[in-house]
Structure 1
């Protein structure tokens, strides 16, 4: 797949026709409140749709009720096993690398401040965490799973934000393109896939080439279900590197919104960490994973822990040696990883299931101009720019 300034410019003018049309119809008919109320009771795939659901929503849910026909289920199972083997590391990368990367793109940082719900970082992080956990369950695409309804609702959430920004003239389409455009959606997909893999590599996590490719593939499936144009999505990790490098060069930089969202994120996780002694580890991890330039743009404070965090790869290497040599050690570390992930999600959600809804208005102050052997260890594709 070729990736050029011209092709990226074209992606900035495209949204999601199906979801956009559905949301427009719901607003035109005054049916958003009814939809949100009824959809709170639809949280599992295959559940009967409630009576009174607007026709436009019912048709959208029918059309988006199944994964793409091209899904390789063997590859999805490899992705699930990769996630189970690395769930704590992946959660760390999502929290301390992927989310701050979103904030270092100024127009994305502004957009993430657009709704009441996204103003609360615990809700945003809890939704991301639950979404990933739902995706990596063995029954993610079967009747009774929570992943497909979550994907359907997130897609409509994105469409509703596009609807509000354009209707209320709060987005400079001429300068910025369509809000939550295809370029930004693909960029987000790269943050949650390739950038997570980059972060695991930076942390010293041993990954097989097969596992890394499968994890990247799983997020391609996610992108398709969120309305991302698959003809434009990088199909390989090498193509993904070219796309992400160009995307970041085109857009990354400092912004007040990015710094504010990062401060919220740091405060959130400092509350989750017991006591105060280890609080600086949060800032140190973000700085380690995103690099000093991006960390400075996001106003991530420097701390005495910055140097100590660089020892994390050596510590993980010791733990992985234990895991490789001892079945009991492997079991104990897997259980610890599972419990850590559950504890983190429980802390963020306060024990509640997160519900996605179409916001009926934006914030009033918003303004925008199986385990694979480790003998074939994965290394990130080289940067495509100097």
Structure 2
């Protein structure tokens, strides 16, 4: 059972194996190479490690198996659910899941300090969208490309940790950068929060699809080095863990507000008109709820609540990325 005390412990832990790989890369090749290597890690089209160092090839080989709780039938259900609801999920991810992550004040500091999202928001959103489409593509599981996809994210996280820890700006009182609690929270934002968003958009999701989606994201979490001990075994447990994390981490912060502002600017730029832009922003407020929207500094618009039910156009816009 996950408790606040257990989350406090896991807040001090990252991904030791991936961090050690990055340390070796820096020792052998230097920081310039690491920055170039991060471009490869962000590319989910080129999944070949053939031209990479033997250390990286061995790391991929050692992390190319599924956990015991992997369930192929649930995977098929989850990927079918994503395919059938991609437009709505795109809307939810852009307007709900991502800003939901920014509510974690200490975790948002990593994203803010790295400047990856703050300074090039559209590109980072595209990376996130490409990752989502890759892990929700059943063919990538059948071909086992899923292992390279997730390993790239592990190494990218480790690279960001390296730069964060060596920046001399990080305070360990905030926890270890990209720690287990924050990785778990992000996993829930892509699984539980998506399902919750579907409910808020008045879509009924069968319990079997809920369980399948949570299970599949648990497998993805495992491949991203989230410790199985803290992952939810069911939808209801996911709700409880999400509540614990929110109580521990969610608060108003300058970093969270600026990351959200950058996100909203990009979201609004998709819109063909000011009315559609306001509709997108209002949808975000509705999905997050008044309390969280205020914490993130998302301003009210003149869009009436009745109009929020008409979201198909905006969901198509968001699905271009997600």
Structures share a fold, TM > 0.5? yes
Q: Secondary structure at the match of 2:77?
A: helix
Q: CA deviation at 1:167?
A: 2.6
Q: CA deviation at 1:144?
A: 7.9
Could you say which residue in structure 2 is the equivalent of 1:13? 12
Could you say which residue in structure 2 is the equivalent of 1:369? none
Using the alignment, how far apart are the partners of 2:105 and 2:241 within structure 1? Answer: 18
Q: CA RMSD in A?
A: 2.6
Q: Is residue 275 of structure 1 aligned with residue 251 of structure 2?
A: no
Q: Secondary structure at the match of 2:287?
A: helix
Which ranges in structure 2 are unaligned for 5 or more consecutive residues?
none
Q: Secondary structure at the match of 1:124?
A: helix
Could you say which residue in structure 1 is the equivalent of 2:283? 285
Could you say which residue in structure 2 is the equivalent of 1:123? 123
Aligned length: 318
Question: How big is each residue's C-alpha offset from its partner over 1:222-266, in whole Å with a ceiling of 9 and x where there is no partner?
Answer: 101111111221111111111110100111111112111111111
Using the alignment, how far apart are the partners of 1:296 and 1:156 within structure 2? Answer: 34
Contact 1:158 1:180 in 2 (8 A): yes
Q: CA deviation at 1:37?
A: 8.3
Could you say which residue in structure 2 is the equivalent of 1:101? 100
Q: CA deviation at 1:117?
A: 2.9
Q: CA deviation at 1:168?
A: 3.0
Contact 1:23 1:156 in 2 (8 A): yes
Contact 1:288 1:309 in 2 (8 A): no
Structure 1 residues 30 and 74: CA distance shift in structure 2, 3 A: same
Q: Secondary structure at the match of 1:246?
A: helix
Q: CA deviation at 1:6?
A: 1.1
Contact 2:70 2:215 in 1 (8 A): no
Q: CA deviation at 1:343?
A: 6.5
Contact 2:75 2:216 in 1 (8 A): yes
Structure 1 residues 180 and 42: CA distance shift in structure 2, 3 A: closer
Q: Is residue 344 of structure 1 aligned with residue 314 of structure 2?
A: no
Which structure's CA Rg is the greater one?
A: 1
Give the 5 Å matches for 1:66-215.
66-68=65-67, 70-119=69-118, 120-143=120-143, 145=145, 147-173=146-172, 175-215=173-213
Q: CA deviation at 1:344?
A: 1.6
Which ranges in structure 1 are unaligned for 5 or more consecutive residues?
317-335, 349-386
Structure 1 residues 36 and 296: CA distance shift in structure 2, 3 A: same
Of 210, 227, 236, which residue of structure 2 is paired with 1:229? 227
Deviates more, 1:159-168 or 1:260-269: 159-168
TM-score (norm 2): 0.90
Could you say which residue in structure 2 is the equivalent of 1:354? none
Q: Secondary structure at the match of 2:70?
A: coil
Using the alignment, how far apart are the partners of 2:72 and 2:231 within structure 1? Answer: 19
Q: CA deviation at 1:54?
A: 2.5
Using the alignment, how far apart are the partners of 2:317 and 2:133 within structure 1? Answer: 9
Using the alignment, how far apart are the partners of 2:38 and 2:179 within structure 1? Answer: 28
Using the alignment, how far apart are the partners of 2:277 and 2:80 within structure 1? Answer: 32
